[in-house]
């Protein structure tokens, strides 16, 4: 069981960090009372491995519970050697600027009589204990959002390719377009196996259909060019910190040409050790 405690200054980027951690498989809990840590860990251990990475967000929003958090975290570290602390920080001026942009109130707004800098100074003092024992430290002051995400990915993923999840889909235009696609390609320009009697009721998952689709020179050339384009784009998406990419292929009914191309592209991407899932939306219609 991997346990990560995410803490740090308000406005420094904890919410962004949690979104990234969820994308890479952490079960994230925000502001759980410290008395419930042990009980939740017991539930995880009884999940038969379904929950093996947990991230607790601990910060001053815990209010009256906050003084107990440090003891609860130290108890976890004592009982489980695989407990790490990620402390996320930012410079005072940056935090002030972010609060002005979002027009949100600092959690210590009332205690500081509305003075944001007083609130920040108070929070820093309260968090000193966590910062002193942190295993990981990130300062988001001078990084872009995508750079910040990439740093978290690199910290908590063994393979940097894993942070981008790719879903390759096929669909039929006759059943409606695909609004969720990031890259959508129309392959209705290719010869249609539907009009071959022995192939009509088969799908692109069969060797007969895929073989028919790919025996044409234009099909082979199109696949080659699409793979070149997709291989060029993926590193750009990774650099921007994108966590999910949907690549879709559409044909008339979503059973023959689109399935063939989706399977071929997925096979190519998997050969580069990318995290790929295939979904044939309309194959059974």
- For residue 144, count CB atoms less than 10 angstroms from its CB and return exposed for 0-12, middle for 13-18, buried for 19 or more: exposed
- Listed in sequence order, the residues at least 6 apart from 107 whose beta carbon sits closer than 8 Å to its beta carbon are 10, 59, 60, 61, 119, 123
Q: How far is CA 112 from the centre of its chain?
A: 36
Q: Using the Cα atoms of residue 9, residue 11, residue 13 and residue 16 in order, give the sign of their dihedral.
A: positive
Residues shown for the chain: 285
- pTM tops 0.75, yes or no: no
Please say whether the beta carbons of 221 and 157 come within 8 A.
no
Neighbours of 285 (CB within 10 A): 11
pLDDT score for 81: 60
Q: Which candidate, 148, 141, 147, 150, places its Cα nearest to that of 98?
A: 141
Q: Where in the chain is the domain with CATH 3.40.50.300?
A: 2-157
Mean pLDDT score of the chain: 88
Mean pLDDT of 128-132: 86
Among residues 231, 280, 272, the alpha carbon closest in space to that of 251 is found at 280
pLDDT in tens, 28-58: 998 888 778 878 888 887 877 778 889 989 8
CATH number assigned to the domain with residue range 2-157, chosen from the 4 options 3.40.640.10, 3.40.50.720, 3.20.20.100, 3.40.50.300? 3.40.50.300
CB distance 137 to 90 below 8 Å: no
Is residue 160 scored above 60 in pLDDT? Answer: no
Percent of the chain with pLDDT over 90: 51
Check pLDDT > 70 for residue 162.
Answer: no
pLDDT at 144 over 70: yes
What average pLDDT does this structure show over 117-124?
94
User: Where does the pLDDT of residue 244 fall: very low under 50, low under 70, confident under 90, or very high at 90 and above?
Assistant: confident
């Amino acid at each position: 069981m991997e346990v990560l405690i995410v803490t740090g200054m308000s406005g420094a980027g904890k919410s962004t960090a949690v979104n990234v951690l969820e994308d890479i498989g952490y079960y994230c809990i925000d502001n759980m009372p410290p008395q419930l840590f042990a009980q939740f860990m017991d539930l995880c251990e009884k999940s038969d491995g379904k929950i093996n990475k947990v991230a607790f967000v601990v910060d001053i929003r815990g209010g009256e519970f906050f003084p107990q958090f440090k003891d609860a975290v130290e108890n976890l570290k004592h009982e489980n050697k695989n407990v790490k602390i990620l402390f996320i920080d930012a410079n005072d001026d940056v935090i002030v600027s972010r609060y002005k942009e979002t027009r949100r109130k600092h959690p210590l707004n009332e205690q500081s009589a509305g003075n944001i800098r007083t609130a920040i100074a108070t929070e820093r003092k309260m968090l000193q204990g966590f910062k002193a024992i942190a295993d990981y430290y990130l300062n988001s002051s001078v990084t872009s959002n995508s750079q910040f995400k990439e740093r978290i990915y690199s910290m908590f993923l063994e393979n940097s390719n894993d942070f981008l999840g790719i879903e390759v889909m096929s669909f039929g235009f006759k059943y409606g377009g695909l609004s969720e696609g990031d890259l959508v390609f129309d392959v209705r320009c290719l010869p249609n196996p539907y009009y071959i009697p022995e192939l009509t009721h088969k799908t692109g998952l069969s060797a007969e259909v895929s073989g028919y689709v790919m025996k044409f020179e234009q099909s082979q050339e199109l696949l080659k060019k699409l793979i070149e384009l997709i291989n060029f784009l993926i590193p750009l998406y990774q650099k921007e910190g994108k966590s999910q990419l949907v690549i879709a292929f559409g044909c008339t009914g979503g059973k023959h040409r689109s399935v063939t191309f989706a399977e071929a592209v997925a096979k190519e991407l998997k050969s580069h050790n990318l995290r790929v899932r295939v979904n044939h939306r309309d194959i059974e219609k």
